[in-house]
């Protein structure tokens, strides 16, 4: 059975914009539940400015306490070499940089133009790799920008190439605001896979218009096997107006299983992790399949009760 690689981003991308402050202990509860469900790769936190993203202020406290660090592939986002240094001190072995594909998004997000942001990401990758860490890169707003509209495919390919040249082992193409549709996803990834190889690429999707699962399938058709997801669809983007939650982990796991792919994730235990996420955030969570899964629970319970009464 062919494997699908799922990188769970709820502890970082999912929590970063939540209005309720989540404690370090509660984050560890969520991460432990995800590990128990069989999640093997988790984006745990980000070493960004606490003033910019208060929810991530405990990154240095959290990372050394992560469960089963020898088995689980934990990563952390870093914005620059200063964040990289903090991450290295905390014991991070895999880090990610984020490069937005448009001038305006970079200026709104990190107060840099596109050329400067590209150089900062490249130098941060080089610095981290020089210390023995593994680096990957995100190309954000790869399909559309909330400020500039549609993004040229050639620009995304060029920025992806720049990140690989700087030493990234993986580049994650990100539909940051959930603006892509399956045809656009398939077209861009068809060219990216031919240029760089499917095994070096992953996809990060948001479900703003309900297209995330369809977009994931379009990517799978082009050979992509790596995806960022967030349990319960938890997430958003504080710097991208209109961005909704991420592709829900349970949605992709369920579709993958029914289409013959192995994720290594137990969906029943994953739903327990979703219950933890709901508890610690106070948010109403659940992907596109949540209603069906609840109906299945009710059906199974009814069958059990009927058998007990026979």
Which of the residues 145, 237, 259, 294 is marked catalytic?
Answer: 237
Q: Is 237 designated active site?
A: yes
The alpha carbons of the chain give a radius of gyration, in whole angstroms, of 19
C-alpha span between 105 and 110 (Å, rounded): 8
C-alpha span between 6 and 283 (Å, rounded): 23
Active site residues: 237
């Amino acid at each position: 059975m062919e494997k699908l690689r799922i990188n769970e981003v709820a502890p970082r991308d999912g929590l970063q914009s939540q209005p309720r402050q989540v404690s370090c202990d509660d984050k560890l509860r969520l991460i432990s539940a995800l590990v128990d469900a069989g999640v093997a790769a988790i984006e745990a936190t980000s070493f960004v400015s606490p003033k910019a993203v208060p929810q991530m202020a405990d990154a240095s406290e959290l990372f050394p306490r992560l469960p089963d660090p020898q088995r689980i592939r934990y990563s952390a986002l870093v914005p620059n070499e200063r964040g990289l240094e903090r991450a290295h001190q905390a014991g991070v072995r895999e880090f990610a940089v984020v490069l937005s594909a448009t001038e305006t998004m970079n200026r709104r997000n990190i107060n840099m133009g596109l050329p400067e942001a590209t150089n900062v990401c490249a130098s941060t990758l080089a610095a981290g790799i020089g210390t023995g860490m593994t680096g990957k890169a995100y190309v954000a707003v790869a399909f559309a920008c909330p400020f500039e509209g549609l993004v040229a495919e050639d620009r995304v390919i060029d920025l992806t190439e720049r990140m690989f040249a700087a030493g990234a082992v993986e580049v994650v193409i990100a539909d940051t605001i959930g603006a892509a549709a399956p045809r656009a996803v398939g077209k861009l990834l068809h060219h990216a896979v031919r240029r760089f190889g499917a095994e070096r690429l992953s996809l990060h999707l948001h479900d703003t218009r309900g297209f995330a699962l369809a977009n994931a399938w379009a990517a799978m058709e082009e050979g992509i096997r790596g995806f960022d997801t967030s349990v319960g669809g938890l997430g958003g983007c504080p710097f991208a107006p209109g961005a909704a939650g991420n592709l829900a982990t349970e949605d992709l796991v369920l579709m993958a299983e029914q289409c013959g792919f192995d994720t290594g994730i137990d969906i029943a235990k994953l739903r327990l992790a979703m219950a933890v996420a709901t508890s610690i955030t106070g948010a109403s969570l659940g992907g596109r399949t949540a209603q069906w899964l609840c109906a299945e629970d009710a059906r199974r319970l009814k069958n059990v009760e009927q058998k007990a009464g026979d």
